[in-house]
Amino acid sequence: MWDAIIVGARCAGSPLARFLARAGKRVLVVDAASFPSDQPMSTHFIQPLGMRILDELDLGDRVRAIAPPVTVFVQSVGGHEARFRITAGGCCPRRIDLDSLLLDGAREAGAEVKLQHRVVDVVRTGRRVAGVVVEDRDGARTELHARMVVGADGRNSTVGDRVGAEKYICYDGPRGLYWAYWDKPNWYGDAPYDGATFIAFAGAEFRLVFPANRDQLVVAVGFPRHEAERWRRDPRATLEARLREEPFFARLVAGRTPITKVMGLLRMECFFRRAAGPGWALVGDAGLHKDPAAGLGITDALRDARSLAAAILEGGDAALERYWRQRDVDSCALFNFARDLGELDYDNPLNRIAFEKLAADPRLHDRVREVVERTRSPYEVFTPGELARWTLGAVARGRFDVVRPFMRAARRATEIQRELARRRALLTAASR
């Protein structure tokens, strides 16, 4: 009898196993993959909060040794470029290295590991989940029993499906994404680039580059999903052509060959999912999958692994429900922020004005830093009064195209506040 069986050994599962094993729990980690293995669908970025959690696990310096901290962030909307410097910085390790490092950390703490074992079902005792059924490479099936089963098995979670965890606030992301890795050019670490992460929204597309490991870059283009067939025909040629349309990105790839194949993601379902029930819980993308444009996934997986570990150590179904409800409160604004970044018209007249102001006023940069540090909501970078004043100023100059995005932003802010209030009420009820 295990105290916990964790299905999935990546950014949520292995840190959770390390937290629990260090607290004396008997933990088994099960994964269908062998390691080291890549997880290509990832923006790689670990925000400062995520690095602090890795430091709590005594793994932060190992990550920094692979991928030194990135302290400069550049974002551009419609050609208006804003540049920020973050003291703590975040890291962008490739997943083939990060995931193995995290799994090694779980083993070091005393967790046992079964790789190349696929979970095909859960075991129940009455209504309570009491273990999993695993299948090895030869097709042999075994029942494994535990007081707690955790699905950390990604957005297509088998555990979530088998326990009947319902999804809510679901939508299909409107973009596809193709990316590849290039060697980092010598000039990339010099001013004015300073090894920055860079994301540029132009029309219905965005282009991004993140430093990945010491000597590599991950470079990507997000595009309207209805263009997927054209991309499928020749992903590399299409990716490079799109990158060459913008001078900064053109310089990254000019005369150079990617060091990996071009990879793509053409359908993204984003959702919240019930995260706890009798004898089970979900963590990471298994229970909450956001649009990847915001680069929040790894940090939120670490955040929720820490919270779930505390709930399991506390014991009881009530603690698990509080974990679930707190996760929703913590994620409501971030989920919607990622959704906004993923919309095809993020490059709209209102956002262009906002980024023009942001680029021109360094005093606003502190607010952005606080968002990155998770001490301010993304929806508090600009006040309603500032947005209204800028909109009225644009209208006075004959720029009526700003009215529609302003009205939509106001409506979205109201909807998000109402949803957050509902989630807080559920947390309060679970805490009684």
Coil, helix or strand at residue 221: strand
C-alpha atoms less than 13 angstroms from C-alpha of 59 in its C-beta half-sphere: 28
Q: What percent of the chain has pLDDT over 70?
A: 100
- Does a structural domain hold residue 424? yes
Coil, helix or strand at residue 190: coil
- Does a structural domain hold residue 208? yes
- Does a structural domain hold residue 149? yes
Last residue of a domain, one of 226, 248, 265: 265
User: Which band of pLDDT confidence, cut at 50, 70 and 90, is reported for residue 214?
Assistant: confident
Same domain, 179 and 250: yes
Contact 242, 208 (CB under 8 A): no
Same domain, 161 and 51: yes
Last residue of a domain, one of 340, 366, 401: 340
Last residue of a domain, one of 265, 285, 300: 265
Q: Supply the DSSP string of 116-151, one letter for each residue.
A: S-EEEEEEEETTEEEEEEEE-TTS-EEEEEBS-EEE
| Domain count along the chain | 3
User: Which band of pLDDT confidence, cut at 50, 70 and 90, is reported for residue 188?
Assistant: confident
Contact 52, 36 (CB under 8 A): no
User: Which band of pLDDT confidence, cut at 50, 70 and 90, is reported for residue 89?
Assistant: confident
What whole-number distance in Å separates Cα of residue 129 and Cα of residue 149? Answer: 7
Return the closest-CA partner of residue 239 out of 42, 185, 230: 230
- Does a structural domain hold residue 84? no
Same domain, 234 and 371: no
What whole-number distance in Å separates Cα of residue 98 and Cα of residue 71? Answer: 19
Answer whether residue 193 shows pLDDT above 80: no
Alpha helices in 261-316 (DSSP H): 297-314
Contact 6, 30 (CB under 8 A): yes
Q: Could you say which DSSP state residue 155 is in?
A: T
Return the closest-CA partner of residue 299 out of 100, 46, 77: 46
Our CA angle for 418, 421, 425, nearest 5°, is 140
pLDDT tens-digit series, residues 372-417: 989 999 999 999 999 999 999 999 999 999 999 999 999 999 999 9
Same domain, 261 and 297: no
Same domain, 233 and 325: no
Coil, helix or strand at residue 275: coil
Q: How many residues does the chain have?
A: 432
Coil, helix or strand at residue 179: strand
Same domain, 240 and 303: no
Phi, psi of 126 (to 5 degrees): 65, -130
Answer whether residue 191 shows pLDDT above 90: no
Same domain, 108 and 13: yes
Range of the domain at 419: 344-431
What is the average per-residue pLDDT within 8-25?
98
pLDDT tens-digit series, residues 97-134: 999 999 999 999 999 999 999 999 999 999 999 999 99
Same domain, 334 and 193: no
Same domain, 128 and 16: yes
What whole-number distance in Å separates Cα of residue 153 and Cα of residue 287? Answer: 9
Q: In this structure, what CATH number is given to the domain that contains residue 214?
A: 3.30.9.100
Tokens representing 323 are 């974990």
What is the average per-residue pLDDT within 344-351?
96
The pLDDT score that the predictor gives to residue 262 is 94
pLDDT tens-digit series, residues 75-88: 999 988 888 888 88
- Does a structural domain hold residue 392? yes
Same domain, 206 and 64: no
